[in-house]
C-alpha cells in the first residue's frame, strides 16, 4: 500500500457534502439535553441559517456550472450534476431532522418551561379577540394581497421572505376568478408576536405572524371563498457579481449590485407540509425549479426567525451562564498599552480574554500626540464599530489614518460600505485592497515618535475586528513591537495601498506569495525527521481544510510516520485512517458554545517547535486568492500558551468533539466512564473572570 496514488479521488471527501456534515453536527447540539434549552433552540436556528447560506452560495455556484454544461470534477471526481444530486438527498434528510427536533423535542420542552407557541386552533376567546385587533390595526393596513391574472402577473418574491399562496373560489367585484392569489408578509413586522400577559397562560406566550395571516386570510378577499392558504419561502442566489477589471469604483459598483442579491436565480422552494401537490408544483413552475428543489416542512418555513426567542425570554436558567472575559495580568492594571508592549509581546485568547485591549490600543493611538499614523485592515466589523469610531477620531485629530476595507466580505458588504464612507468623510485614506484578491489579513499598525526614532506597534489576529463576534468566536491576537514584524506589516500595507513587486518579508508568511510554499516545506520537514527516526508531530487547527496539494502533503507526511492531529471545525476534504495514506492522521471537529475560529499550526521540528497563528485556512481561496498573513509566535512562553490553550485542550475534549471517519461521516466522542472534558469550559474556567 506504500505506493498508493495520493491523487486518487477516493482519498478526497466532497467539499459540499463535508459542509453539510458540519451542519449535521450543529443540529446534534439542538437535540443534546446537556445543552441549555434556549441554546438548543439557537443551535437549531444556526443549522437552518447555515443551510440557507449553503444554498445561496454553494448550491447556486454548482447550479450555474451544471446549467452551463460543466463536467469538470473536483479532486473527489464528482461533477456538479452528481454533487447536486447528493446534496439534495442529504439536505432533505437534514431539513426533516430539523423539524423533527423542533416538533418532538424543543416545542414540548419549551412548553414545559412556560414558553409556548400558541397554535390558532388552541387560541382562547380572549386571545382570538386580541389577535383580531392586531390583524386589523397592525397587519391589514400594510398587507397587499395580489390576485393573479394577465394584469397582475406573479409578483417578484424577495429572497427568504415569508409568503402565502392562496387558493380561491368565486368571482370578485370585477368578475375575475383566477383562483390564485399571493400574500407577502410585511418585512416591517416581527414573525413572532409576544401575546400580552392579560390573555396569556404564562409570561412567554407567542403567536406566529403566519398563524395570524392564516386565521384572517378570508378578510383579505371579501366575498370569495378561501379553499387553501399555504406558507412558502424561496431561497435565491445571493452571490454578488462585479467584474473588477471593468469598473472604475468598486464601492459604487457594489452599492448598485447589493439590491439585486434579493432577486437572484431561484434555488430552493420551501412550503408547508399541508400544501397541495397542485399548488406546490404551480409554485415550482413559477420559479423554474424541479421536484428535487422542493422542501415540504412540518412547521414555519422561516425557521431561523425563532432565533429571536432567546433574546426575548429572560430565563438565565435556560441559557449558558454569563461570563466576564479575563485580562492578562500585564494589561489588568495599566492604561498604557504601548508601555506594556515595549516590555514584551502580549497574547490574547478570545472570547475567554477580553477584546477591550484591542479597542484601547486604537483609542490610545488616536489620542496620543506622538502617534503619527495608524493603519488597519477591516474585513468584518459590524454596522456600529467602536474601532471605526476610534479611527474616525484619529483622522479628525490630524493623524495619517489608512484603512484597507474589504468591501466583498460576504453578507457584510453594506456594513463595510457604511464604514468606508464614514472613514472617507473623516479624511482617512480608504482603499479596497487588490483587484482579484480579497484582503482577509487582520492587522493594525501604529507608528509612534519616541525621541529621535520611530517605533512600530502591531496587532495581528486570527479573527475579525468585530466586538460582538469577539465574544462568541475563538481567536488569538498578538500585540508586538518586534522590529522585524513591524517592518513586515509595513511592507504588506505598502503592497495593499500602492504598486510594486512582491517584497521579501523577514518573519511573516503571506498569501498569495509565501504561505503555501512555506507550509508545504514545514510539513515536508516533519516528514524528513520521521524518516530519520526522529520524533515528528503536526497539530493544526483551522476552520476548513480543502486545498488538494496541502492534503497530499499531509498524506506524504503520514506515510513517512508523522503523527498528525487536525482540529478542523467545518469542511475537511482529507480522508483519515486510510492504510498507506493517512493511518497516522486523526481529524476532529469541536462544536460548542463558541464558534471555533482560530487558525493555529504547530510543528515539532525536532524538539524546537515552530508555532504559527494565521488568518488563513488551508483552502485554495485562502492560499492563492486572498491576502492573508501568518505570524510566528517566537516567545517560548507565548508559544507554550498557544499549545496549552489552543491545541491540547481540544485534543483532550470528550464532550464536544466529533471524529471524522474514513467514510466521510463523523462520530461524536462520548466520555463514557471518564471525566467529561470540554475545551471551551476549561478555557472559561482558566482565563475568564
**Dist. CA 621–CA 550, nearest whole Å:** 13
Count the alpha carbons within 13 Å of 391 in the hemisphere toward its beta carbon.
32
What is the DSSP pairing of strand 163-169 with strand 115-117? unpaired
Nearest to 627 by CA among 350, 408, 381: 408
The residue annotated as part of the active site, out of 440, 466, 529, 604, is 440
Q: Find the Cα–Cα–Cα–Cα dihedral 540, 541, 542, 543, rounded to 10°.
A: 140
**Dist. CA 5–CA 548, nearest whole Å:** 13
**Dist. CA 61–CA 326, nearest whole Å:** 43
Catalytic-residue membership of 440:
yes
Q: What distances in angstroms separate CA 513 from CA 8, 436, 447, 632, one per listed residue?
A: 28, 14, 26, 16
List beta partners, residue 326: 353
List beta partners, residue 198: none
CA angle 316, 319, 320 (to 5 degrees): 110
**Dist. CA 583–CA 664, nearest whole Å:** 15
What is the DSSP pairing of strand 443-450 with strand 438-439? unpaired
Count the alpha carbons within 13 Å of 346 in the hemisphere toward its beta carbon.
26
**Dist. CA 385–CA 392, nearest whole Å:** 11
Q: Would you say 244 and 127 are in contact if contact means Cβ atoms under 8 Å apart?
A: no
Q: Crossing angle of helices 413-426/386-396, nearest 10°?
A: 20
Q: Would you say 599 and 613 are in contact if contact means Cβ atoms under 8 Å apart?
A: yes
Say how many Å lie between the first and final Cα of the chain, rounded. Answer: 52
Name the helix (H) or strand (E) containing 611: strand 610-614
Q: DSSP assignment, residue 326?
A: B
Active site residues: 440
Amino acid at each position: 500500500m506504500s505506493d498508493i496514488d495520493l491523487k486518487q479521488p477516493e482519498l478526497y471527501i466532497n467539499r459540499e457534502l463535508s459542509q453539510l456534515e458540519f451542519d449535521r453536527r450543529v443540529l446534534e447540539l439542538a437535540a443534546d439535553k446537556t445543552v441549555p434549552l434556549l441554546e438548543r433552540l439557537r443551535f437549531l436556528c444556526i443549522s437552518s441559517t447555515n443551510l440557507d447560506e449553503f444554498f445561496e452560495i454553494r448550491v447556486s455556484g454548482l447550479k450555474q456550472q451544471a446549467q452551463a454544461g460543466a463536467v469538470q470534477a473536483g479532486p473527489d471526481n464528482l461533477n456538479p450534476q452528481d454533487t447536486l444530486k447528493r446534496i439534495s438527498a442529504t439536505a432533505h434528510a437534514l431539513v426533516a431532522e430539523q423539524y423533527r427536533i423542533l416538533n418532538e423535542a424543543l416545542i414540548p420542552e419549551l412548553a414545559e418551561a412556560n414558553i409556548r407557541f400558541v397554535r390558532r386552533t388552541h387560541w382562547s376567546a380572549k386571545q382570538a379577540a386580541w389577535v383580531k385587533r392586531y390583524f386589523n390595526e397592525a397587519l391589514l393596513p400594510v398587507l397587499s394581497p395580489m390576485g393573479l391574472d394577465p394584469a397582475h402577473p406573479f409578483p417578484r418574491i424577495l429572497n427568504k421572505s415569508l409568503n402565502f399562496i392562496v387558493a380561491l373560489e368565486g368571482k370578485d367585484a370585477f368578475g375575475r376568478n383566477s383562483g390564485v392569489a399571493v400574500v407577502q408578509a410585511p418585512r416591517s413586522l416581527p414573525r413572532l408576536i409576544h401575546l400580552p400577559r392579560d390573555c396569556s397562560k404564562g409570561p412567554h406566550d407567542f403567536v406566529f405572524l403566519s398563524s395570524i395571516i392564516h386565521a384572517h386570510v378570508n378578510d383579505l378577499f371579501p366575498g370569495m371563498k378561501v379553499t387553501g392558504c399555504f406558507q412558502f419561502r424561496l431561497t435565491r442566489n445571493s452571490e454578488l457579481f462585479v467584474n473588477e477589471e471593468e469598473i472604475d469604483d468598486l464601492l459604487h459598483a457594489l452599492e448598485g449590485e447589493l439590491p439585486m442579491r434579493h432577486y437572484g436565480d431561484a434555488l430552493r422552494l420551501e412550503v408547508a407540509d399541508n400544501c397541495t401537490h397542485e399548488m406546490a408544483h404551480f409554485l415550482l413552475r413559477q420559479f423554474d425549479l424541479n421536484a428535487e428543489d422542493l422542501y415540504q416542512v412540518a412547521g414555519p418555513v422561516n425557521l431561523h426567525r425563532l432565533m429571536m426567542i432567546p433574546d426575548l425570554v429572560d430565563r438565565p436558567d435556560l441559557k449558558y451562564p454569563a461570563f466576564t472575559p479575563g485580562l492578562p495580568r500585564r494589561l489588568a492594571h495599566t492604561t498604557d498599552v504601548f508601555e506594556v508592549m515595549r516590555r514584551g509581546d502580549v497574547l490574547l485568547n478570545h472570547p475567554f480574554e477580553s477584546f477591550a485591549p484591542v479597542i484601547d490600543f486604537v483609542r490610545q493611538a488616536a489620542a496620543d500626540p506622538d502617534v503619527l499614523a495608524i493603519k488597519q485592515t477591516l474585513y468584518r466589523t459590524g454596522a456600529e464599530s467602536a474601532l471605526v469610531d476610534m479611527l474616525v477620531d484619529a483622522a479628525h485629530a490630524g493623524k495619517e489614518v489608512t484603512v484597507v476595507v474589504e468591501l466583498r466580505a460576504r453578507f457584510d458588504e453594506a456594513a463595510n460600505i457604511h464604514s468606508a464612507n464614514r472613514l472617507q468623510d473623516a479624511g482617512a485614506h480608504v482603499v479596497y485592497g487588490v483587484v482579484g484578491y480579497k484582503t482577509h489579513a487582520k492587522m493594525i499598525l501604529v507608528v509612534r515618535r519616541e525621541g529621535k526614532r520611530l517605533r512600530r506597534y502591531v496587532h495581528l489576529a486570527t479573527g475579525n475586528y468585530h466586538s460582538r463576534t469577539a465574544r462568541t468566536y475563538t481567536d488569538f491576537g498578538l500585540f508586538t513591537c518586534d522590529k522585524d514584524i513591524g517592518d513586515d506589516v509595513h511592507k504588506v500595507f505598502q503592497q495593499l495601498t500602492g504598486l510594486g513587486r512582491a517584497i521579501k518579508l523577514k518573519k511573516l508568511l503571506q498569501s498569495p506569495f509565501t504561505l503555501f510554499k512555506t507550509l508545504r516545506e514545514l510539513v515536508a520537514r516533519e516528514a524528513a525527521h520521521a524518516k530519520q527516526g526522529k520524533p515528528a508531530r503536526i497539530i493544526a487547527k483551522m476552520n476548513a481544510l480543502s486545498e488538494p496539494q496541502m492534503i497530499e502533503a499531509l498524506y506524504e507526511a503520514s506515510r513517512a510516520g508523522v503523527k498528525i492531529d487536525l482540529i478542523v471545525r467545518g469542511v475537511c476534504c482529507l480522508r483519515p485512517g486510510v492504510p498507506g495514506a493517512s493511518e497516522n492522521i486523526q481529524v476532529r471537529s469541536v462544536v460548542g458554545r463558541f464558534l471555533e475560529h482560530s487558525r493555529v499550526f504547530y510543528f515539532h521540528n525536532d524538539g524546537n517547535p515552530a508555532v504559527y497563528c494565521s488568518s488563513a485556512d488551508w483552502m485554495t481561496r485562502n492560499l492563492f486568492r486572498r491576502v492573508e498573513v501568518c505570524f510566528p509566535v517566537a516567545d517560548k512562553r507565548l508559544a507554550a500558551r498557544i499549545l496549552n490553550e489552543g491545541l491540547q485542550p481540544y485534543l483532550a475534549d470528550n464532550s464536544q468533539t466529533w471524529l471524522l471517519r474514513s467514510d466521510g461521516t463523523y462520530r461524536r466522542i462520548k466520555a463514557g466512564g471518564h471525566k467529561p472534558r470540554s475545551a471551551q469550559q476549561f478555557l472559561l474556567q482558566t482565563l475568564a473572570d
